[in-house]
Structure 1
């Protein structure tokens, strides 16, 4: 039986890629996961196109839940059948660490508010965490049809094409990005985000600010962006991209350059050539 996450004190880490013998079962599991995520994405695509009006917070939450429910009605039974003993993280906004064993970390509508506003920046994601490490991840973009995948030790790909991070070595020539982790963030985090954007505007070539985080991390993994940072955050919006960036040759840390876990106060994903410069900028 699956179980719902409550509390724990175990860390989740994303290790640097090393050549390993990837099991056939994990490779097959990735393919089956991708099929389930694409099916959920197709269902959400059918709901996309018009701006969904809402006048109250309750109406907004209801519209968000309707999208989540549409995808979860496909994802939960499909993924549970693939790994019946795996736990299931109920809330995509949850942060912190996971217990040992296998867990599905799923965001059924990453960038859900964009979907409601008829904006194209949204996706469906599913990540399997095993013994506190992400093993595989799938991010599907229903409007373009692209599917990004990563398998620990086997690299990151988009529709079968290998991904590699940027080779840029100068932050002053870099395009970087950040994202708002969640609504109603506390004032201290909001002010830290604002000061970090100012610092990056001074040091980087171009700074992009938008949600969701996962789409920026896809761009880092593909070499289209040179760095992404965020303060606070949830497992579901950082774990998929963290594995993709790592498997594409990038560096993951907290904002101070220390090893990142979902308990960290900050997150940084960057091409190796600009990671140290980005840490220095964020330290100001």
Structure 2
């Protein structure tokens, strides 16, 4: 085994988290240099090329650094992929979470990296370059924002709650789109305020920080749910599908909520 492999194998998960933070922040700085002007596109192909340029700018930094940290880990960077991963370790990365917002000079975008081991999230980093905020979570060791512990809200009445949802992907199946619309209507009746925007990860970071009380989404993918799921869980929140059943990457829905309103949120989304 090479010195690089030996050194990577010797790193604790806490050390891995610290070095992942460094890599993700560096990628965020590269995207920040590209941010500020609306990028115009004329068709879907033009849009996809513009998105790819941002992805590549971040991946050129993330891939070699994270690969050096865990040389044997697999690599997932397609933000629309879902389902369980094969055995072993995997980096699940979204190099430009909220990429379309970046192209439109909107502030809601981030860089994320999550290490998954035997289909369980071990650590995650979510960096928001415009605010400079870095959210981290380590399984069993809590969630933090720039080193400060995070805790979900203590709200116990959905009628007093701020809730949020997100569109999982463009060109969603009509059945899912109608389900999203019905759920928003239900939550408009049951909750205090409903926020709708992309990306999911930033809503989930807000749930973990106690700023938002619940987040739900139909469909979804690993890259937009795994980072936030670990943040919320480690901040004391509850994760399930919309019917209150245990959530897995195969689930058709996702719900993250403060414990005090989880049951009410499930009731609202299940009717």
Shared fold, TM over 0.5: yes
Q: Distance in 2 between matches of 1:83 and 1:213?
A: 27
Task: Give the match for residue 216 of structure 2.
Answer: 229
For structure 2, the residue ranges without an aligned partner over 5 or more in a row are 1-9
Residue 217 (1) aligns with residue 204 (2): yes
Shift of 1:89: 1.0
Q: Within the alignment, does 1:155 sit opposite 2:106 as a pair?
A: no
Q: CA RMSD in A?
A: 0.9
Match of 2:171 among 173, 176, 184: 184
Q: Aligned pair 1:262/2:260, yes or no?
A: no
For 1:243, what is the secondary structure of its paired residue? helix
Q: Does 1:122 align with 2:109?
A: yes
Q: Which residue, out of 68, 71, 81, partners 1:81?
A: 68
Equivalence for 1:246: 233
1:36 aligns with: 23
Question: What SS class does the counterpart of residue 66 from structure 1 fall into?
Answer: helix
1:90-140 per-residue CA deviation (whole Å, 9 max, x = no partner) reads 412101111111000000000000000000000000000001100000000
For residues 219 and 169 of structure 1, the distance between their equivalents in structure 2, rounded to whole angstroms, comes to 17
Quick one: distance in 1 between partners of 2:245 and 2:45? 39
Distance 1:275 1:182, change over 3 A: same
Aligned to 1:277: 264
Point out the more displaced range, 234-243 or 86-95: 86-95
Report which of the two has the higher share of helix: 2
How many pairs are equivalent? 262
Deviation sequence 1:9-39 (CA, Å, 0-9, x none): xxxxxxxxxxxxxx97110000000000000
TM superposition outliers: structure 1 runs of 4+ over 3 Å:
none
1:36-115 equivalence runs, <5 A: 36-115=23-102
Question: What SS does the aligned partner of 1:138 have?
Answer: strand
Aligned-partner Cα distance in 1 for 2:177–2:40? 27
Where in structure 1 are there 5+ consecutive unaligned residues? 1-22
Higher relative contact order (CA 8 A, sep 6+): 1
Report the TM-score when normalising by structure 2: 0.96
Cα distance in 2, alignment partners of residues 159 and 197 from structure 1: 32
Judge conservation of contact 2:80–2:221 (CA < 8 Å) in 1. Answer: yes
Corresponding residue SS for 2:12: helix
**Are 2:77 and 2:94, in contact at CA under 8 Å, matched by a contact in 1?**
no
Structure 1: distance between partners of 2:106 and 2:48: 18
CA distance in 2, matches of 1:260, 1:52: 37
Moved more, 89-98 or 40-49: 89-98
Q: Which residue number in structure 2 is paired with residue 18 of structure 1?
A: none
